[in-house]
Amino acid sequence: MSKKFFGIVVLMALLVLAACSGESVTDSDSDNNASNNDEEEVQKDVTVWYYYTGKQEELFLTAIDEYNGAQDVYEVKAEYVPFPDVKKQLSVGLAGGTLPDMVQMDVVDNASFAAQGVLEDITSLVEEWGEADQFYEGPLKSVTYNDGYYGLPVGSNALGLFYNVDMLEEAGVEPPTTWDELLETAETLTSGDTKGFAISAVKSEEGAFQYYPFLRSSGAEYTDLDSEGAIGSLSLLTQLVEEGSMGADVVNATQDDLARQFAQGKLAMMVNGPWNIERLKSENPDLNFAITQIPKDEEYASVLGGENLAIIKDSNVSGAFDFLTWFLETERTEKFSAETGVFPARKDALENSDFWTNDEHLRGFVPIMDVADPRGPSPEWPEISDAIQIALQEALTGTKSPKEALQGAAEKVDEILN
């Protein structure tokens, strides 16, 4: 074979190999790019389930549009799920693999879904973010499970003592600060068809919600319902009914019912939340009322209400967390909270703003937020709450003594937890 012919053969072989090699690399790159593009497309979208309505819904959707327009890495897509359906839809979605990336959640439900493995543990992301210490302790506790963070609080409320300023002034009394003062003041203010004081003791989460500040003020927890402090808290409420300072009908009265009675002058004092302030103003524009701490036993206490945003396990965690922390930036959460009538979960947003401190009614809740605790938090809270509701009803209707009612509740809770 001549050198020339041999050179031609070698050259042809190299060209074939190069062509094959080039084709192989090109096909591989094409497949990889398609795969990468598909992955990027999936990871770009961030789906969030929310149950805001009215003004809150309008502002939340506006915030999402603003976020989507401010960057091009992620795109948040919102889907409305009515509040009563959220837990059911999460269960259905878990079974069918159709969960969102993020979900709005009542503070009392967060621990339960974290325990079920539905929510992502974002502890490392929160620690890297470095702003957890800007949140009130109560709201932050509501997203905690097994010492980890499973979401972040986005809005809060609490319960306080509403009192009719004119009624107290006419009676020559000050707003009560202790349980003993509450008994005396409520008796003084009770006259005719006007009761001196009321809580909602209805058999629902509202009842457990309203009782919780009294339980916590006694130094007790839901884990020691048969303790001396817990029994004392329920005895206080029972005594108010027995003395006629609180109506026996509170076992059927919702928080909205109390607000209506208060607006009509049928109640001198009540336990209620900031969501009813505008209602009171609307129903009775001349009503002169103020808000302060719920009377205490050992210490002032309140109970936390509000919402969290939690990220679904194994979802688009990076995208969801990016939107979450953007939404919770101090000025943004301050504006959203102020315009929707709730309290920000961030201390710096609340305490550095003139909005809440200057409002004649909302400012009463500013110190209350410091002592507001979440119910639980416990994965078994719905069952625990039911035991508390039953005890509350038994004691206030006289079916059982406070001690007997809470001993029964304590046994149920012990069974639930063990």
Residue 28's pLDDT is 36
Contacts of 349 (CB under 8 A, 6+ apart): 330, 331, 333, 334, 337
Residue 103's pLDDT is 98
Residue 177's pLDDT is 98
- Asked if residue 61 lies in contact with residue 30, where contact means CB atoms within 8 angstroms, the answer is no
- Asked if residue 143 lies in contact with residue 150, where contact means CB atoms within 8 angstroms, the answer is yes
Task: Decide: residue 332, CB within 10 A, 0-12 exposed, 13-18 middle, 19+ buried.
Answer: middle
Residue 84's pLDDT is 86
Residue 212's pLDDT is 97
Distance between CA atoms of residues 292 and 213, nearest Å: 13
What type of residue is 406?
Answer: L
Residue 13's pLDDT is 42
3-class DSSP state for residue 229?
A: helix
Residue 27's pLDDT is 37
Residue 22's pLDDT is 41
Contacts of 353 (CB under 8 A, 6+ apart): 334, 338
- Asked if residue 412 lies in contact with residue 385, where contact means CB atoms within 8 angstroms, the answer is no
Distance between CA atoms of residues 161 and 368, nearest Å: 10
Task: Decide: residue 3, CB within 10 A, 0-12 exposed, 13-18 middle, 19+ buried.
Answer: exposed
Give strand pairing partners of 76: 46
- Asked if residue 209 lies in contact with residue 371, where contact means CB atoms within 8 angstroms, the answer is no
Could you count the other beta carbons within 10 Å of the beta carbon of residue 212?
A: 24
Indicate if 160-293+380-417 has the same CATH topology as 46-156+305-370.
yes
Residue 357's pLDDT is 87
Rg of the Cα trace of the chain? 29
User: What is 364-412 written as a DSSP string?
Assistant: GGTTGGGGEE-S---TTHHHHHHHHHHHHHHHHTTSS-HHHHHHHHHHH
Domain boundaries defined on the chain: 46-156+305-370, 160-293+380-417
Distance between CA atoms of residues 188 and 217, nearest Å: 23
Distance between CA atoms of residues 342 and 410, nearest Å: 34
Kindly report the backbone phi and psi dihedral angles of residue 225, in degrees, each rounded to the nearest multiple of 5, phi listed first: -65, -20
Instruction: Report the largest interatomic distance among the alpha carbons of the chain, rounded to a whole angstrom.
Output: 125
By C-alpha distance, which of 60, 152, 52 is closest to 336? 60
Residue 197's pLDDT is 98
Crossing angle (nearest 10°) for helices 54-70 and 317-327: 120
pTM for this predicted structure = 0.82
Residue 228's pLDDT is 97
Under-70 pLDDT residues of the chain: 1-42
Task: Decide: residue 378, CB within 10 A, 0-12 exposed, 13-18 middle, 19+ buried.
Answer: buried
The β-bridge relationship of strands 75-80 and 45-50 is parallel
Residue 96's pLDDT is 83
Three-state SS letters, 248-289: HHHHHCCHHHHHHHHHCCCECEEEECHHHHHHHHHHCCCCCE
Distance between CA atoms of residues 56 and 83, nearest Å: 13
Long-range contacts of 4-11 (CB under 8 A, 24+ apart): none
Residue 54's pLDDT is 87
pLDDT tens readout for residues 305-341? 999 999 999 999 999 999 999 999 999 999 999 988 7
Identify the CATH class of 46-156+305-370: alpha beta
Q: CATH topology for 160-293+380-417? A: D-Maltodextrin-Binding Protein; domain 2 (3.40.190)
pLDDT tens readout for residues 360-386? 999 999 999 999 999 988 999 999 999
Residue 21's pLDDT is 41
Residue 17's pLDDT is 37
